[in-house]
Amino acid sequence: MLVDSHCHLDFPDFAEDLDGIVSRARAAGIGRMVTISTRVRKLTQLLAIAERFDDVYCSVGTHPHNADEEDGIAPDELIALTQHPKVVALGEAGLDYFYDNGSPEAQARGFRAHIAAARATGLPLVIHTREADEDCGRILEEEAARGSFRAVLHCYTGGRELALKAVSLGLYIGFTGILTFKKSEALRALAAELPPDRILVETDSPYLAPGKFRGKRNEPAYVVEVAKVLAEARGVSLEEISRQTTENFFRLFSKVPA
Ligand SMILES: [Zn+2]
Ligand SMILES: [Zn+2]
Torsion of CA 90, 223, 249, 132, to 10 degrees: -50
Ligand 2 centre from 241 Cα, in Å? 22
- Is 65 marked within a binding site? no
For residues 50-58, give the mean pLDDT.
98
* 2-252: CATH architecture: Alpha-Beta Barrel (3.20)
Please state, as a whole number, how many other Cβ atoms lie within 10 Å of the Cβ of residue 69: 14
- Asked whether residue 149 carries a pLDDT value surpassing 90, the answer given is yes
DSSP state of 183: T
d(CA 138, CA 184): 25
For residues 180-194, give the mean pLDDT.
97
d(CA 55, CA 76): 27
Please state, as a whole number, how many other Cβ atoms lie within 10 Å of the Cβ of residue 103: 13
- Asked whether residue 211 carries a pLDDT value surpassing 90, the answer given is no
Chain-wide mean pLDDT for the chain? 97
Give CA separation, 210 vs 18, 151, 207, in Å. 20, 24, 9
The full set of domain ranges for the chain reads: 2-252
Ligand 2 centre from 5 Cα, in Å? 10
> What would the pLDDT profile of 78-126 be if each residue is shown by its tens digit?
999 999 999 999 999 999 999 888 899 999 999 999 999 999 999 999 9
> What would the pLDDT profile of 3-20 be if each residue is shown by its tens digit?
999 999 999 999 999 999
Who has greater pLDDT, 212 or 70? 70
Ligand 2 centre from 60 Cα, in Å? 12
- Is 204 marked within a binding site? yes
Ligand nearest to the CA of 9: 2
Give CA separation, 242 vs 173, 201, 214, 237, 257, in Å. 15, 9, 22, 9, 17
Q: What pLDDT score does 163 carry?
A: 98
- Is 69 marked within a binding site? no
